[in-house]
Every structure is written in structure tokens, then in C-alpha cells.
Amino acid sequence: ESIDERIANNTFFVDSKAHIVLDGSICKDCSDKVCVTACPAQLFVELYDGTVGFNYEHCLECGTCLILCSHDGALKWNYPRSGQGVNFSYG
């Protein structure tokens, strides 16, 4: 089973309040956009105008984007509120 197939087995109890929020004005000027390539769930996408699109709902809460992003304030990162977020399944 591939990593993508394992990730697809996870379920999510989505917090209605986004636990990760991007500052688009910072992302637009970012030259590397490391989040686009580093997120294992592929939740970031570079848009035609140079900004970054993002969907927090299938976040694995791994913290990779927070660790790798070098632009202060570009990401506001918190865990989902209690009991919400990813439910890992390795079956």
C-alpha cells in the first residue's frame, strides 16, 4: 500500500474554524513556496496569480509547513479544537 493510499484511509472531523490560516500577501511574494511541495497531503497549490491556495480540511497535523516556512507571519498554525481534526487509520 502506497503512502497516498494510506493517507486516503484517514478520516476527518473537520473543525469549522480553520486551524491554519495563510497571509496571502506574504505568500504572494514568497519565491520558494516550499509548502506547495512539502505538504504530504498536498493541501497547498500555487495559483495563476502567484498566491497560494490552501484547504485545511484534510490536514494531517504534521507541522511540516510550519517548520519549513521561513516567512514570519505567513502561517498561523494551531491544532484543531478539542476532539476535531484527523483520525489516522493504517488499515
Positions in the binding site for ligand SF4 (CB under 6 A)? 20, 39-41, 43, 59-65
Instruction: Identify the CA nearest to 30 among candidates 56, 52, 54.
Output: 52
Least distance in angstroms from the C-beta of 41 to ligand SF4: 4
The 3-state DSSP class for residue 77 equals strand
Residue closer to ligand SF4, measured from CB, 25 or 42: 42
| DSSP state for residue 79 in the 8-state scheme | P
Q: Please measure the distance between the N-terminal and C-terminal CA atoms of the chain and give it in whole angstroms.
A: 10
Least distance in angstroms from the C-beta of 7 to ligand SF4: 9
Least distance in angstroms from the C-beta of 28 to ligand SF4: 18
